[in-house]
């Protein structure tokens, strides 16, 4: 149903949304679902004067975009993407070296949601995605991210290589992930202002994007399977950067 395209589903995701202070048009709740965290959702919604509508289970199932919507659906305005400058300002505000994720061709919303969740927990300042050949932020992404979308700055750009060049002018080093790279991810210096590029599982980083990276790293594969899920790859490299940055900061 087009009316409900921009919606957030699931108790944790809706709670995160309410606590973030972002706009919510209305909240739908399954009749009879008044226990546990639903009570907290209702209390917060009333506090913020958000309309609450109860519907029967069948109506809610027709409205839901995910099977596991847990009896609650919030209708929200379309997701507001930010600008690259907003991400850079976030790093300045935290008084930290810029730490940015650039996604090239992540088309699966589940992967995008998982990457956003990992990036948010790791303290990444923002994520850049392309307008074409990429999943967009929708209810599935929000659900998989466990509400991390509400705390992460995401810029949607026309051209990834132009975005990379802008980051370079701002002093960031750009690290691309590529299975054919000579350097392992854990032997590369990942401290300082950094942008990490993650490509799709099938195609990896596009050749043009690869050529704009300052250096490339690989995750060594020891088994018979020669590729990792994109969100797993992102998590491995992101947390290597976190480890190195913390070590450097403690010296």
This prediction has a pTM of: 0.77
Please name which of 241, 163, 236, 194 lies closest in space to residue 97, comparing C-alpha atoms: 194
- Could you tell me what percentage of the chain is helix, strand and coil, using 3-state DSSP and rounding each to the nearest 5? 40, 20, 35
Mean pLDDT of 33-38: 80
Encode pLDDT of 136-182 as tens digits: 888 788 888 988 988 999 999 999 999 999 999 999 999 999 988 99
Residue 70, Ramachandran bin (φ over 0: left; ψ between -120 and 50: alpha; else beta): left
Encode pLDDT of 45-100 as tens digits: 999 999 999 999 999 999 988 788 999 999 988 788 999 999 999 999 999 999 99
Q: Rounded to 5 degrees, what angle do the CA atoms 104, 239, 166 make?
A: 40
User: d(Cα 186, Cα 72) in Å, to the nearest integer?
Assistant: 42
Q: Do the beta carbons of residue 9 and residue 66 sit within 8 Å? A: yes
pLDDT band, residue 2 (cuts 50/70/90): very low
The answer, yes or no, to whether residue 1 has pLDDT greater than 50, is: no
Return the beta strands (E) in the chain as ranges. Answer: 7-9, 26-30, 51-55, 72-75, 99-104, 126-130, 154-157, 173-177, 183-184, 194-199, 215-218
pLDDT at residue 27, rounded to an integer: 94
Q: Do the beta carbons of residue 220 and residue 106 sit within 8 Å? A: no
For the four alpha carbons of 34, 37, 39 and 44, in that order, the dihedral sign comes to: negative
**Maximum Cα–Cα distance for the chain, whole Å?**
59
User: d(Cα 145, Cα 137) in Å, to the nearest integer?
Assistant: 10
Mean pLDDT of 191-211: 91
Q: CB neighbours (10 Å) of residue 75?
A: 19
Comparison of pLDDT for 172 and 17, the residue scoring more: 172
Please name which of 38, 1, 45 lies closest in space to residue 22, comparing C-alpha atoms: 45
Mean pLDDT of 194-208: 89
pLDDT at residue 4, rounded to an integer: 34
Contacts of 68 (CB under 8 A, 6+ apart): 10, 143
Encode pLDDT of 91-128 as tens digits: 999 999 999 999 998 999 999 999 999 999 999 999 99
Q: Which domains does the chain have, with CATH numbers?
A: 2-75 (3.30.1330.30), 84-250 (3.40.1280.10)
Comparison of pLDDT for 226 and 200, the residue scoring more: 200
pLDDT at residue 41, rounded to an integer: 93
For the four alpha carbons of 83, 238, 195 and 200, in that order, the dihedral sign comes to: negative
Q: What are phi and psi of 215, to 5 degrees?
A: -155, 160
Q: Which tokens sit at 81?
A: 């993407």
Mean pLDDT of 40-44: 93
The answer, yes or no, to whether residue 8 has pLDDT greater than 90, is: no
Using a pLDDT cut of 70, give the percent of the chain over it: 97
Encode pLDDT of 202-214 as tens digits: 788 889 999 999 9
User: d(Cα 223, Cα 202) in Å, to the nearest integer?
Assistant: 18
pLDDT band, residue 222 (cuts 50/70/90): confident
Q: Which tokens sit at 201?
A: 């599982």
Comparison of pLDDT for 35 and 19, the residue scoring more: 19
The number of angstroms, rounded, from the C-alpha of 241 to the middle of its chain's C-alpha atoms is 17
pLDDT at residue 126, rounded to an integer: 97
């Amino acid at each position: 149903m087009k009316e409900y395209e921009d919606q957030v589903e699931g108790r944790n995701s809706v709670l995160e949304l309410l606590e973030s202070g972002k706009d919510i048009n209305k909240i739908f709740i399954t009749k009879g679902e008044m226990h546990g965290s639903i009570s907290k959702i209702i209390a917060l919604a009333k506090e913020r004067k958000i309309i609450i509508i109860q519907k029967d289970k069948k109506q809610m199932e027709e409205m839901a975009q995910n099977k596991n919507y847990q009896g609650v659906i919030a209708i929200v305005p379309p997701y507001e993407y930010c600008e690259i400058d907003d991400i850079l300002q976030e790093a300045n505000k935290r008084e930290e070296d810029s730490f940015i994720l650039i996604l090239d061709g992540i088309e699966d919303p589940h992967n995008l949601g998982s990457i956003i969740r990992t990036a948010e927990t790791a303290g990444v300042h923002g994520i850049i995605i392309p307008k074409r050949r990429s999943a967009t932020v929708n209810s599935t992404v929000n659900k998989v991210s466990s509400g991390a979308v509400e705390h992460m700055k995401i810029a949607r750009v026309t051209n990834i290589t132009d975005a990379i060049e802008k980051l370079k002018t701002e002093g960031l080093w750009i690290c691309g992930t590529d299975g054919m790279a000579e350097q392992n991810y854990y032997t590369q210096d990942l401290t300082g202002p950094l942008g990490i590029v993650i490509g799709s599982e099938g195609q990896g980083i596009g050749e043009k994007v690869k050529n704009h990276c300052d250096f490339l790293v690989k995750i060594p594969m020891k088994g018979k399977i020669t590729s990792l899920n994109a969100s797993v790859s992102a998590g491995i490299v992101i947390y290597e950067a976190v480890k190195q940055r913390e070590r450097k900061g403690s010296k």
